[in-house]
């Protein structure tokens, strides 16, 4: 039997999906701006974050209303709790896009150096992780979510290698310290991206399979 | 279970069975008078029970045979008149008491109805004599009907009131809440709901009236000839039984027994028929 | 959360742009010497569901019954003013008022001697409508509105008592709708029913509000939260707080309201 508050849950899901779409676009724009050296696009990204923040507040309010008015249980409850968490992750991903955009201008003179690192590759993987985690939420696909968890290891390894490479560059050529420092920070941002995507994937598994895979509990999947 | 437990169980079971047996015995005792009356009157009057008995008029003194056709019809007419006058009055009074009677007037009416039900039927006959026979200057079926009506009213009133009070208040509320006026709610919703119970009261009243003899003596008087006129004396089963039992003729005595049996059977049939007819058309699941 | 004490300020429907269908101002209700309502002022907004909550004996049922003058049936009296579409309800015939303001009760009470069809048609029939086709149309329309048509369309001649409790309650709702009321009052309509029937009734209420104005008394707060647009909290015969349901159940203004809603009462 359909209950009228189910529409509220549907709307909530749609809003989350919309926010995810916006965040995805922000990320794509930011990376494009970074590797193209496009300062104008970077400014677009920074302006676009406001809309994401608005959606963030809206989703929080909607969740509270549904909790108060519909007293959800079981899958509805898990959906709602995870919606709050995913909302927060998405908002932070949006912030990361802004952080990346902030690095565009300072790195414009060092484009070659930038393209010489593996940052672009890392960024691509991280963006795919974000997109996949959102897809898994939309489709309720725990399988896909599990694959996202596995990718996190790849990103971590790349991050480690990049760190060592950048540090040795900095030791060898002191004039590269500035761009290398920016790249280190960018690597941090991208690694965070992967973490947020992982968190979203874990929440999806919680919703769909009622299994809590966060923190240590997730080890069994990664093996 | 240990031995003591087993003994207690046995004792309880024995007590239980003894009580059931006792109750059954009481049931039998209660039913015996009815069975006795039925069978005795039947036995005594069976020789006179034939088709003629129901169709023919009483024969002149000295002749054997004949019937009580006029008495049968007369009783029917008298009961009909009594019901026509007494039932509406009683039901309406009962409705008034139930719906609007929580006041001193209602209490007074209730008290008077109880008093009325205790008045000896012969006195009621005298009253009917005074108010109907004297002004009309002769005995009549109408007077008999009035007397019987007066006898019916208290029973019908009290039963109607009780039964209507028993109808849950929620039906009243439901009727009022959809904009049905109070009186219509009472008549079209409450009354039908209470109908089964009210019928019991009506039955009791008719049964009592059917068996009355004394009041009819002063009002309907009796009639050896065929008459269905309301303003003339009319025969009735009870007066028939009275007359024929008193008479010295054996044939007449036997006929009286037969009439007695018929009267009992009649009352019995009325009860059964009423119950069947007013059984709710819709049975609950 | 606590507001300054301002009991003398009128608290209407707690929402702008809501046209009130019924307006109550300074209503005091009495049963003999006992005062059941104290100076209650409340609007019932059109085409919305107003839920009235509060502990037992707080006067919520009494208030509801004042709205269609059913309190008089139980021997109550009222001071103050209640208006329907601006017209004082004490100035109109009570019978007519109850055709415009219908009521559904806690315990389903279909008329026992009537069929399902006759039950729904009762209000119309007893007010002079006898055209068979007209009645059949109305009965079908109302049974559909009450989400009962599919379940009983083949057994309209069966007794009104032959269906389940939840169905009986929907039958009572259909019966109320048949006289085309503008306002439907419901006094704990689902408290005697099982959870599935309760859910059906709740969905029904949600559908009905597009056509009718609804006021429902309930002791089940979660039901009030699920079903209503506005919620009014009564306590000891007084209206404590009224407002948009969303707000009342997330950020109520009065401490008493919050205590009651969270179950910390007493």
Helix (H) or strand (E) holding B77: helix B69-100
Evaluate whether chains C and B are touching (3 or more beta carbon pairs less than 8 Å apart): yes
Percent of chain B that is helix, strand, coil (3-state, to 5): 80, 0, 20
pLDDT in tens, B190-230: 999 998 888 888 888 888 888 888 999 888 888 888 888 88
Token pair for residue C190? 């689902």
Percent of chain A that is helix, strand, coil (3-state, to 5): 90, 0, 10
Confidence of residue A65 (pLDDT cuts 50, 70, 90): very high
Helix (H) or strand (E) holding C242: strand C238-244
**Pairing mode, strands C183-187 and C213-217:** parallel
Token pair for residue C262? 């969270």
pLDDT in tens, C188-219: 999 989 999 999 999 999 999 999 999 999 99
Instruction: Say which residue the tokens 């049968």 belong to.
Output: B72
Domain holding A209, by residue range, is: 2-222
Instruction: List, as one string, the DSSP characters of B161-173.
Output: HHHHHHS-HHHHH
Closest CA to C205 of C97, C67, C48, C52: C48
Q: According to the model, what pLDDT value does residue C11 have?
A: 43
Best A4, A7, A67, A72 member to test C by mutation, with max C CBs in 10 Å, is A4
Q: Do C112 and B176 touch (CB under 8 A)?
A: no
- Segment A129-157 mean pLDDT: 93
Cβ-based contacts of C69 with chain B (< 8 Å): none
Question: Which C positions 60-119 lie with beta carbon below 8 A of chain B?
Answer: 68, 70, 73, 95-99, 102-103, 105, 107, 109, 111-115
Residue pair C111/B171 in contact (Cβ under 8 Å)? The answer is yes
Q: According to the model, what pLDDT value does residue B254 have?
A: 82
**Residue A181, CA distances (Å) to A37, A39, A66, B15, B78 in order:** 17, 19, 45, 101, 121
Question: Phi and psi dihedrals of C233, rounded to 5?
Answer: -105, 120
Q: According to the model, what pLDDT value does residue C6 have?
A: 32
pLDDT in tens, C78-134: 999 999 999 999 999 999 999 999 999 999 999 999 999 999 999 999 988 999 999
Q: Which of C3-7, C85-89, C240-244 has the lowest mean pLDDT?
A: C3-7
Counting residues of chain A whose pLDDT is more than 90, the rounded percentage is 65
Distance between C112 CA and the closest CA of chain B, angstroms: 7
pLDDT in tens, C212-230: 999 999 999 899 999 999 9
pLDDT in tens, A9-57: 889 999 999 999 999 999 999 999 998 888 999 999 999 999 999 999 9
Q: Which residues of chain B have pLDDT under 50?
A: 281-285
Which chain A residue shows the shortest CA-CA distance from C231? Answer: A69
Confidence of residue C180 (pLDDT cuts 50, 70, 90): very high
B192 in reach of chain C (CB within 8 A): yes
CB pairs under 8 A between A and C: 29
Q: According to the model, what pLDDT value does residue C8 have?
A: 32
Sign of CA dihedral A71, A77, A79, A81: positive
Cα–Cα distance, C230 to C226 (Å, whole number): 11
Confidence of residue C235 (pLDDT cuts 50, 70, 90): very high
User: Considering CB atoms only, which of C102, C126, C162 is closest to B285?
Assistant: C162
What is the widest separation between alpha-carbon atoms in chain B?
A: 87
Residues contacting B259, CB < 8 A, separation 6+? B45, B68, B71, B237, B240, B241, B244
Assess whether pLDDT exceeds 90 at residue A208: no
User: How many domains is chain A built from?
Assistant: 1
Cα–Cα distance, C249 to C241 (Å, whole number): 12
Which chain B residue shows the shortest CA-CA distance from C111? Answer: B171
Q: What ipTM was assigned to the predicted interfaces of this complex?
A: 0.88
pTM score, two decimals?
Answer: 0.79
CB count within 10 Å of CB B267 equals 15
Cα–Cα distance, C95 to A120 (Å, whole number): 80
Confidence of residue A2 (pLDDT cuts 50, 70, 90): confident
Instruction: Report the SS3 class of residue C32.
Output: coil
User: Considering CB atoms only, which of C68, C109, C113 is closest to B174?
Assistant: C109
Token pair for residue B1? 């279970």
Cβ-based contacts of C226 with chain A (< 8 Å): 3, 5, 69-71
Cα–Cα distance, A36 to A28 (Å, whole number): 12
Confidence of residue A94 (pLDDT cuts 50, 70, 90): very high
Token pair for residue B97? 């008491």
What's the CATH code of the domain at A116?
1.20.58.220
Evaluate whether chains B and A are touching (3 or more beta carbon pairs less than 8 Å apart): no
Q: According to the model, what pLDDT value does residue B167 have?
A: 93
Cα–Cα distance, A159 to A153 (Å, whole number): 10
User: Considering CB atoms only, which of C200, C203, C249 is closest to A69?
Assistant: C249
Instruction: Report the SS3 class of residue B120.
Output: coil
Cβ-based contacts of A73 with chain C (< 8 Å): none
A68 in reach of chain C (CB within 8 A): yes
């Amino acid at each position: 039997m359909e209950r009228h508050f189910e529409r509220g849950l549907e709307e909530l899901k749609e809003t989350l999906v919309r926010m995810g779409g916006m965040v995805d676009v922000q990320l794509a724009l930011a990376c494009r701006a970074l590797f193209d050296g496009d300062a104008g696009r970077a400014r677009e990204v920074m302006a676009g974050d406001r809309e994401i923040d608005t959606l963030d507040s809206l989703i929080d309010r909607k969740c509270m209303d549904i909790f108060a008015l519909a007293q959800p249980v079981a899958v509805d409850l898990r959906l709602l709790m995870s919606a709050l968490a995913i909302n927060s992750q998405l908002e932070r991903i949006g912030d990361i896009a802004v952080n990346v955009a902030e690095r565009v201008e300072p790195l414009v003179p060092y484009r070659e150096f930038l393209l010489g690192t593996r940052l672009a590759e890392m960024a691509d993987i991280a963006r795919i992780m974000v997109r996949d985690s959102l897809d898994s939420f939309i489709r309720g696909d725990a399988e896909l979510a599990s694959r996202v968890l596995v990718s996190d290891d790849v990103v971590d390894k790349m991050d480690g290698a990049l760190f060592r490479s950048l540090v040795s560059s900095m030791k060898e050529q002191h004039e590269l310290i500035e761009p290398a420092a920016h790249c280190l920070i960018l690597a941090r941002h991208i690694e965070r991206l992967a973490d947020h995507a992982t968190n979203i994937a874990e929440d999806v598994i919680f919703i769909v399979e009622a299994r809590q895979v966060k923190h240590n509990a997730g080890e069994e999947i990664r093996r | 279970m240990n031995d003591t437990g087993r003994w207690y169980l046995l004792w309880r079971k024995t007590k239980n069975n003894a009580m059931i047996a006792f109750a059954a015995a009481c049931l039998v005792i209660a039913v015996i008078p009815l069975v006795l009356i039925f069978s005795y009157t039947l036995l005594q009057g069976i020789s006179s029970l034939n088709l003629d008995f129901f169709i023919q008029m009483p024969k002149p003194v000295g002749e054997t045979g004949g019937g009580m056709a006029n008495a049968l019809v007369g009783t029917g007419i008298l009961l009909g008149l009594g019901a026509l006058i007494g039932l509406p009055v009683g039901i309406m009074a009962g409705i008034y008491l139930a719906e609007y009677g929580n006041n001193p007037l209602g209490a007074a009416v209730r008290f008077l109805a109880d008093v009325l039900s205790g008045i000896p039927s012969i006195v009621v006959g005298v009253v009917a004599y005074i108010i109907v026979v004297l002004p009309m200057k002769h005995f009549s079926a109408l007077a008999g009907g009035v007397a019987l009506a007066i006898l019916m009213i208290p029973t019908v009133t009290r039963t109607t009131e009780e039964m209507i009070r028993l109808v849950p208040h929620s039906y009243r509320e439901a009727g009022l809440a959809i904009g049905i006026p109070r009186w219509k709610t009472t008549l079209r919703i409450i009354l039908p709901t209470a109908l089964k119970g009210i019928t019991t009261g009506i039955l009791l009243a008719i049964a009592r009236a059917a068996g009355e003899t004394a009041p009819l003596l002063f009002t309907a008087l009796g009639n050896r000839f065929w008459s269905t006129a309301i303003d003339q004396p009319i025969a009735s089963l009870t007066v028939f039984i009275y007359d024929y039992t008193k008479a010295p003729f054996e044939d007449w005595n036997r006929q009286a027994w037969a009439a007695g049996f018929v009267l009992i059977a009649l009352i019995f049939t009325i009860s059964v028929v009423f119950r069947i007819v007013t059984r709710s058309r819709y049975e609950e699941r | 959360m606590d507001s300054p004490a301002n009991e003398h300020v009128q608290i209407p429907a707690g929402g702008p742009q809501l046209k009130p269908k019924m307006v109550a101002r300074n209503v005091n209700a009495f049963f003999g010497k006992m005062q059941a309502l104290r100076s209650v002022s409340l609007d019932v907004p059109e085409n919305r569901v107003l839920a009235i909550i509060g502990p037992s004996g707080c006067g919520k049922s009494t208030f509801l019954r004042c709205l269609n003058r059913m309190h008089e049936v139980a021997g109550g009296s009222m001071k103050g003013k209640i208006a329907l579409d601006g017209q004082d309800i004490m100035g109109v015939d009570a019978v007519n008022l109850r055709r415009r303001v219908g009521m559904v009760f806690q315990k389903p009470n279909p008329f026992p001697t009537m069929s399902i069809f006759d039950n729904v048609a009762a209000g119309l029939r007893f007010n002079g409508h006898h055209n068979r086709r007209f009645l059949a149309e109305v009965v079908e329309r109302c049974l559909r509105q009450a989400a009962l048509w599919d379940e009983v369309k083949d057994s309209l001649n069966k007794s009104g008592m032959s269906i389940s409790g939840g169905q009986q309650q929907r039958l009572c709702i259909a019966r109320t709708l048949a006289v085309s009321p503008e306002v439907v009052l419901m006094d704990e309509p689902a408290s005697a029913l099982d959870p599935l029937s309760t859910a059906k009734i709740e969905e029904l209420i949600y559908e009905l509000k597009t056509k009718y104005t609804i006021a429902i008394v309930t002791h089940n707060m979660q039901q009030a939260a699920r079903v209503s647009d506005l919620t009014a909290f009564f306590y000891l015969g007084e209206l404590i707080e009224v407002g948009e349901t969303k707000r009342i159940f997330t950020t109520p203004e009065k401490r008493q309201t919050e205590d009651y809603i969270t179950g910390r009462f007493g």
